[in-house]
Amino acid sequence: MGDFKETFEKVKDHAAIVGRELGKIFEDVGARAGEFIDQTKLAAGIREQERQLECLYAEVGRAVYSAHTDGTESNLDNLYADIAAKVDAIATLKVALDELKKVHRCHSCGREVEKEVKFCPGCGAEQ
């Protein structure tokens, strides 16, 4: 298990754009800067965010359909912004989880690879 404070600092830098979203997420997973965070909790937090993202996609569908059927003004721009923030937040959390788990990923295809490999077993890219 990694030092969450270190990870949190990295994530915070990376997350200037999605700060509000991430703040909520870290609250959700019960993490505060300087504390150790459980990988399981972080993984559960990511799944929860992914579930909320699916709800947002569904909301876009509903809004588009209402606009089509009865000309209701829909607030799609807000929904799109929420989705973009959540997608960024999830990506950032996944980076944080990789760091906690000391996972290395291929820079080309994103597959999990051993730290020492010279070439990715998935796509063959030099590491």
Residue ranges that bind Zn ion, judged by CB under 5 A: 106, 108-109, 111, 120, 122-123, 125
Q: Of 32, 34, 33, 29, nearest to 93 (Cα)?
A: 29
Show the tokens assigned to 124.
């063959």
Separation CA 97–CA 91 (nearest Å): 10
Nearer to Zn ion, 34 or 122 (CB): 122
Nearer to Zn ion, 23 or 122 (CB): 122
Least CB distance to Zn ion at residue 50 (A): 23
Show the tokens assigned to 47.
């799944």
Least CB distance to Zn ion at residue 117 (A): 10
Least CB distance to Zn ion at residue 94 (A): 16
Is the distance from CB of 97 to CB of 86 less than 8 angstroms? no
**For residue 86, what are the CA distances in angstroms to 25, 37, 79, 96, 122?**
10, 21, 10, 15, 28
Nearer to Zn ion, 32 or 107 (CB): 107
Nearer to Zn ion, 44 or 117 (CB): 117
Least CB distance to Zn ion at residue 30 (A): 34
